[in-house]
Amino acid sequence: MTDTHPDDILNLLADIVGTAHVATGAEAARWSEDWTRQAHWTPLAVVRPATTEEVSEVVRLANRAGTPIVPVSGNTGLVEGTRAQGSIMVSLDRMSAIREVRPEARIAIVEAGAILSRIHEAAGAHDLIFPLFFGARGSAMIGGALSTNAGGSNVLRYGSTRHLCLGIEAVLPTGEIVNLMSELHKDNSGYDLRDLLIGAEGTLGIITAAVLKLHPKPRAYATAMVAVPSLDRALVLLNRLQQETGGAVEAFEFMPGVFMDAYLERFPEARAPFDDRHDINILVEVGALAPRDAQPGPDGTVPVAAHLEEVLGQLFEDGAILDAVVAQSDTQRQEMWARREASAEVARLRPNVIDNDICVPVDKMQVFLDRITARASDLDPGLIPLCVAHLGDGNLHFAGWPESQDPEIHKAVKQAVDDAAMDLGGSFSAEHGVGLSKKPAMQRHKNPAAIQAMRAIKQALDPNGIMNPGKVLPDA
């Protein structure tokens, strides 16, 4: 490392990418806070390279100078993973090309700054989908989704981001470029560095490009809101639907009654999902690939929707569900999805929201909610629990509006949520990553030998500790 003055670093950065693509001061404001606007910082500079080679030169400079470097994509994260006080922030927004879509191979080759919704559009032009969907898809970039191994609403059928990626290109903390842009579905040639870098939150390198898996676009969707007596009954419903549809359930989302109340408060022009209020509301979607399931009949009825309606009708007669509404148009389908995708906005209807991102085995969700609701009430009797969940894969976002204004009480509730999940064989982080905000949970719950191995990997790849320092790994 060399003792390089900050002004010299700025001049050298400008030499690499051009003065117009180095932002400081007020010009860096939009990169100087996170999505929640609760974390703020002042970076040394925000640099916007246009090529992988420029990323490499920027990282080499930072490594020589010993200056921290923090990669940033759409900055839609929720765990303070892009906090960058005094650091060089590397934004990949200029590296946004969708280089190629090959429909026969069902792959897309993209740069890390490609916005998720643009990838969806490019795949859709070939009657394919890239099935990574979540509320921030209009601004989130694929590099950030890969770096956090993002989840979303379709993990149940297609898996998380890691499962949707065949290969990556990345710049290591020393500035070396690793080309892992494999298009293979099988490759047993040594350690899987791709999977190591995916989900590392930029602490081991900067992902600059990727080979993504595409899937056939369903020819028709059947979407419904279903009210059930309990989460255990919801799991019975999911298993029944998977059996009836040959595993074609794309999404299975849980929204409790208190969430629906808050949604209608936030969006007073919206409609309630049912005529009567229910405590447990499930959004279910089935995707039909076969023409026989998607081609409308003479009366306009789509077979997959008719089948879903028939199955739900049988379950209603058996008392397994309390109510159900099947979307009869794309407008009704979008109305159902609007409720779920507004969850982050709804949670922030009141200040000081306590927000967690946990995962438990799918058959332990009811036990978890019973335990944590009681524990949260003990800590703050006035707390209003507000949850949504990707119920099909066991990922629950337990949020709460506290009555207490004591930060220590808020901290205790968050810790209790993590502890309850771990006690049931779960995880304190399902899809948002660790960043800074979940480091205490990492320290409490992660296996010490696993943390030691992670530190060894970090030291080997980033000996000067410049790459997104202080994130993910607990302090030694």
Q: Given a cut of 70, is residue 475 above it in pLDDT?
A: yes
| Whole-prediction pTM | 0.94
Question: pLDDT (tens digit, 9 = 90+) per residue, 349-366?
Answer: 888 889 899 999 999 999
Report pLDDT for 406: 95
Question: pLDDT (tens digit, 9 = 90+) per residue, 102-112?
Answer: 999 999 999 99
Report pLDDT for 393: 96
Taking the C-alpha atoms of residue 6 and residue 1, their distance in angstroms, rounded to an integer, is 14
Across the range 263-277, mean pLDDT stands at 96
In the structure, what pLDDT confidence band is assigned to residue 35 with cuts at 50, 70 and 90?
A: confident
- Spell out the residues 6+ positions from residue 196 whose beta carbon is closer than 8 angstroms to its own: 204, 457
The pairing of strands 69-72 and 88-91 is: parallel
Question: pLDDT (tens digit, 9 = 90+) per residue, 420-439?
Answer: 999 999 999 999 999 999 99
Across the range 231-247, mean pLDDT stands at 96
Report pLDDT for 191: 95
Q: Which domains does the chain have, with CATH numbers?
A: 98-216 (3.30.465.10), 220-343 (3.30.70.2190), 350-433 (3.30.70.2740)
Report pLDDT for 74: 87
Report pLDDT for 1: 64
- Spell out the residues 6+ positions from residue 89 whose beta carbon is closer than 8 angstroms to its own: 28, 31, 43, 45, 46, 47, 69, 70, 71, 72, 82
- Spell out the residues 6+ positions from residue 207 whose beta carbon is closer than 8 angstroms to its own: 112, 143, 146, 147, 168, 169, 170, 197, 198
Measured CA distances, 372 to 19, 289, 379, 420, 427 (Å): 52, 40, 10, 7, 14
Report pLDDT for 349: 86
Taking the C-alpha atoms of residue 386 and residue 376, their distance in angstroms, rounded to an integer, is 12
**Residues above pLDDT 70, as percent of the chain:** 99
Taking the C-alpha atoms of residue 112 and residue 50, their distance in angstroms, rounded to an integer, is 11
Name the amino acid, one letter, at 136. Answer: A
Across the range 439-456, mean pLDDT stands at 96
Question: pLDDT (tens digit, 9 = 90+) per residue, 278-292?
Answer: 999 999 999 999 999
Taking the C-alpha atoms of residue 295 and residue 301, their distance in angstroms, rounded to an integer, is 8
Secondary structure element (H or E) that encloses residue 443, with its range: helix 439-445
Q: Given a cut of 70, is residue 241 above it in pLDDT?
A: yes
Question: pLDDT (tens digit, 9 = 90+) per residue, 3-19?
Answer: 678 889 999 999 999 99
What is the pLDDT of the chain when averaged over all its residues?
95
- The residue among 437, 457, 461, 434 whose CA lies nearest residue 446 is 434
Report pLDDT for 2: 65
- Contact indicator for 79, 435 with CB cutoff of 8 Å: yes
Question: pLDDT (tens digit, 9 = 90+) per residue, 78-105?
Answer: 888 999 999 999 999 999 999 999 999 9
